[in-house]
Amino acid sequence: MTNSGLAQINGQRLMASIEQLGQIGIDVNGGVTRLSLSNEELIARQFIIRQMEDAGLHVRQDEAGNLIGRLEGEASDAGAIATGSHIDTVIQAGIFDGALGVLGGIEALRTIREQEIKHFRPLEVICFTDEEGVRFGAGYFGSRAMTGQWNESWLELTDSEGTTLKEAMEYATLDPYGAAFASRSRESIKAYVELHIEQGRVLEEQDAPVGIATAIYGHSWLEVTVRGRADHAGTTPMKLRQDPLTAAAAQLLAIEQIAVEHGGVATIGTLRMAPGAINVIPGEIVFTVDMRHEAAEKLHSMQLAITTELTAIAQQRGLSVSFRTIDSAQPVRSSPSIVDAIAESCKEVGLPGTYMVCGAGHDAVAMNDLTEMGLILVRSRDGISHHPLEWSSPEDCEAGANVLLQTLIKLANELN
């Protein structure tokens, strides 16, 4: 797959490590659940530490729990070229989301060390804490802490069992009040390049194994509470009901329509009702909306249209509705010079450089606040992700990791 003479990663070793990591938190249906700072994820952290040590990297954990494997360069005080991703997952996930970026980064640095490839700048691979945000409701914890965006109020966020982030950090022997000190200077990191599965179908439709992200969607996560009046299912005439669930049904369809009109995406990933009995009209509905768009102003207008329409539907039915923004991030554009470096590496590795915009969010979004950022995407079969059927071929994973390897070597030898 690659031109002769170019260093190449050890594809078998990479795929073996992805398979091994994929066993941690796997269930009988083949889905992986490794929520941030859960027992499964803490076990996975130990696996990553061993992988980093076996690769001959200097390993440290920062105050936010980010694991950092470092390979010194000729000039150890120069800004590092960093790569990385996450090992926390969503619920019933696949084995590639995040894992490819962490293990692909370790494999690239291991190859550079083993083949004694010259690099002026230090190289780092980072395994970030809580990228997904599924357990506590806000994501990018580790990368936001590293880029000075830590928000101490997150410590009071709770998971579905009422455990706070603070308690979960203490359980993981992390100092909850230390995370704010994980922030790094602009000088310490010169650039950040992440390798990730695409989690969509653009590359497959273009029959391209590897893509170059020119931008990443922004997102806004909203919690919506619709309040009506619980009542008896048998004795309450339809015209006297204040049923928040039938109102929510109208609201969900309105959200879908508004997303289509704005050219964005919107997802209702969770919905709960109270009191939740077969013969009781619900009194309250709480659901979440994950809305995303490539353009900041469109994301804003989509959110405004959604909250306006949900309020109108509630009022027409004599109900109340309230909103809570859980998390948000603006869309980001990749650094042109990093995009060029990745494109050149694609050519060297013998691949067409397929440019695209990425709909999934990554730690690269947060790292973009600190340094120049780039994102290399690997084709996902049928575009499936956040699902046990998530899969990328060994050939494509190897191709993506080789593009990462060449890009890191290039950037690590750029002196300015």
Which among 6-14, 76-84, 92-100, 160-168 is the span making contact with Mn ion, rule CB under 5 A?
92-100
360 makes contact with ligand HGY (CB under 6 A): yes
Question: Could you give the string, one character per residue 138-167, with x where binding to ligand HGY holds by CB under 6 A and - elsewhere?
Answer: -x----------------------------
Structure tokens at 148: 């000075």
Q: Which does 139 bind (CB under 5 to 8 A by kind): ligand HGY, Mn ion, none?
A: ligand HGY
Cα 36 to Cα 90, 175, 211: the distances in Å are 9, 15, 28
For tokens 């046990």, the residue is: 388
Closer residue to ligand HGY (CB): 121 or 196 = 196
Q: How far is the CB of 217 from Mn ion (least distance, A)?
A: 13
Closer residue to ligand HGY (CB): 255 or 343 = 255
Bridge partners (DSSP) of residue 189 are: 80
Q: Could you tell me if 204 and 379 are in contact, meaning their C-beta atoms sit under 8 angstroms apart?
A: yes
Question: Could you give the string, one character per residue 361-380, with x where binding to ligand HGY holds by CB under 6 A and - elsewhere?
Answer: x-------------------
398 makes contact with Mn ion (CB under 5 A): no
Distance, in Å, from the CA atom of 104 to the CA atom of 108, rounded to the nearest integer, reads 6
Closer residue to Mn ion (CB): 97 or 372 = 97
Cα 119 to Cα 83, 189, 233: the distances in Å are 15, 15, 71
Q: If we measure between CA atoms, which residue out of 5, 12, 247 comes closest to residue 107?
A: 12
Q: How far is the CB of 15 from Mn ion (least distance, A)?
A: 18
Distance, in Å, from the CA atom of 4 to the CA atom of 58, rounded to the nearest integer, reads 31
Q: How far is the CB of 139 from ligand HGY (least distance, A)?
A: 6
Who's near 62: CB < 8 A, 6+ residues apart? 68, 145, 146, 182
359 makes contact with Mn ion (CB under 5 A): no
Q: How far is the CB of 132 from Mn ion (least distance, A)?
A: 5
For tokens 């369809």, the residue is: 253
Closer residue to Mn ion (CB): 293 or 386 = 386
Distance, in Å, from the CA atom of 221 to the CA atom of 135, rounded to the nearest integer, reads 14
Q: Could you tell me if 80 and 122 are in contact, meaning their C-beta atoms sit under 8 angstroms apart?
A: yes
Q: Under rule CB under 6 A, which residues in 113-132 are in contact with ligand HGY?
A: 131-132
Residues engaged in binding Mn ion (CB under 5 A): 97-98
Residues engaged in binding ligand HGY (CB under 6 A): 131-132, 139, 360-361
